[in-house]
Amino acid sequence: MPELPEVETVRRGLDPVMTGQVVAQAQVNRPDLRRPLPPGMAERLTGQRVERLRRRSKYILADLSSGETLLIHLGMSGRMLVSGAPLARFHHDHPAPQKHDHVVLTMANGVRITFNDARRFGTMDLIATVSADRHPLLAGLGPEPFGNDFDETRLVARLKGRATPIKSALLDQRVVAGLGNIYVCETLFRAGVHPARQAGDLPAMRVAGLVAIIRQVLSEAIGAGGSSLRDYRQSDGALGYFQHSFHVYGREGLSCRTPGCPGTIARLVQSGRSSFFCPVCQT
DNA sequence: ATGGGGGCCTGCCGGC
DNA sequence: TGCCGGCAGGCCCCCA
């Protein structure tokens, strides 16, 4: 459930039950995720207080009292399931363990956080908080979409001369961090840009316009609690409803939602990923 | 250096 | 009902 709005939604859901709380117990069921979990992870988590929950791109970072930071990535199918009421005297209101519960954190307040990830594309790591930005997974990331480093001038400069489809360019986490397939599709629809357009061929004005549109799409999605693509609460943990606002993603063969537009949403495959677009609105 | 394709995993859905 | 192919929100690696 992995693009920026979903990750931010997860972070916001975890914040009230994790921040300020001590990890009473950490249980690692499967250390062989996409990257192997760090050695001694359970021991290094146990007894630590979560000082802060942050997000960078699609990563969640939990700063611990030990001076280490727990880095979490949800991959494609990762979820953070929260169970158990805070301060509950008894802890038997937890669901039965599921097949892909790889890491289980039990906080001192009785809340349990379960990292479940069927495809194991997700990962976790433990790193020194002071140098977290230099972690290999974070070091190459481009600007945060809502950060000051992401602006029209810099985006235009970054895409100038690029001989790659604009779709691929916006998926490139070095250009801007946090967008995935859904939000790139929706961004390009709103911008009226065909996904196959070469990034370097787009007039600077149109590239500049992408900045505000990206922020708008992401803001709306965060406001809706992200997008839930399958069974609502089960698979996403988040209760997002932004999927109802999709104009193109997953709408192949359906009518364009632009009032008066006769177009039918089409799909094309670019570097192995589906791009959805309206052939009439997007040129 | 840059862009494209393959691979990593499992689950689900539609078609036969 | 059962099997099979295709598809999936991400990212890394390798090759041209």
* Annotation marks residue A5 as catalytic: no
Residue A231 has a pLDDT of 46
pLDDT tens digits along A41-63:
999 999 999 999 999 999 999 99
pLDDT tier, A282 (very low <50, low <70, confident <90, very high otherwise) = very high
Residue A219 has a pLDDT of 97
pLDDT tens digits along A106-139:
999 999 999 999 999 999 999 999 999 999 999 9
* Annotation marks residue A58 as catalytic: yes
Whether the CB of A99 is less than 7 Å away from nucleic strand B comes out as: yes
* Annotation marks residue A267 as catalytic: no
| Average pLDDT value for residue range A219-228 | 92
Å separating the CA of residue A273 from the C1' of nucleotide B5 = 11
pLDDT tier, A143 (very low <50, low <70, confident <90, very high otherwise) = very high
Pairing of strands A68-73, A123-128: antiparallel
A80 beta partners: A115
| Average pLDDT value for residue range A150-176 | 95
Checking phi first, is residue A250 left (phi over 0); if not, alpha (psi -120 to 50) or beta?
Answer: left
Full 3-state SS string of chain A: CCCHHHHHHHHHHHHHHHCCCEEEEEEECCCECCCECCCCHHHHHCCCEEEEEEEECCEEEEEECCCEEEEEECCCCEEEEEECCCCCCCCCCCCCCCCCEEEEEEECCCCEEEEEECCCCCEEEEEEHHHHHHCHHHHCCCCCCCCCCCCHHHHHHHHCCCCCEHHHHHHCCCCCCCCCHHHHHHHHHHHCCCCCCEHHHCCHHHHHHHHHHHHHHHHHHHHCCCCCCCCHHHHHCCCCCHHHHCCCCCCCCCECCCCCCCCECEEEEECCEEEEECCCCCC
Catalytic residue among A5, A8, A11, A58: A58
pLDDT tier, A240 (very low <50, low <70, confident <90, very high otherwise) = confident
- A162, A174 contact by CB (below 8 A): no
CA A10 to each of CA A70, A163, A186, A242: distance values in angstroms, whole numbers, following the listed order:
15, 35, 21, 15
Dihedral sign of CA atoms A185, A190, A191, A194 in order: positive
* Annotation marks residue A167 as catalytic: no
Å separating the CA of residue A264 from the C1' of nucleotide B7 = 33
Q: How many angstroms separate the CA atoms of A45 and A65, rounded?
A: 10
**Whether pLDDT at A90 is above 90:** no
**Whether pLDDT at A266 is above 80:** yes
Å separating the CA of residue A240 from the C1' of nucleotide B15 = 31
Token duo for residue A114: 């379960």
pLDDT tens digits along A174-208:
999 999 999 999 999 999 999 999 999 999 999 99
pLDDT tier, A87 (very low <50, low <70, confident <90, very high otherwise) = low
Residue type for position A230 = R
CA A37 to each of CA A46, A102, A103: distance values in angstroms, whole numbers, following the listed order:
15, 10, 10
Integer Rg of chain A from CA:
20
Looking at every residue in chain A, the average pLDDT score rounds to: 92
Q: How many angstroms separate the CA atoms of A22 and A260, rounded?
A: 56
**Whether pLDDT at A235 is above 90:** no
**Whether pLDDT at A236 is above 80:** no
Question: Tokens 């399958």 label which residue?
Answer: A230
pTM, entire model: 0.95
Cβ contacts of residue A69 below 8 Å, gap of 6+?
A61, A62, A63, A126, A127, A128, A129, A132
- A5, A218 contact by CB (below 8 A): yes
In chain C, which nucleotides are within 7 Å of a protein Cβ?
7-12
Q: Which residue minimizes Cα–C1' distance to B12?
A: A230
| Average pLDDT value for residue range A19-40 | 95
Catalytic residue among A55, A154, A267, A273: A273
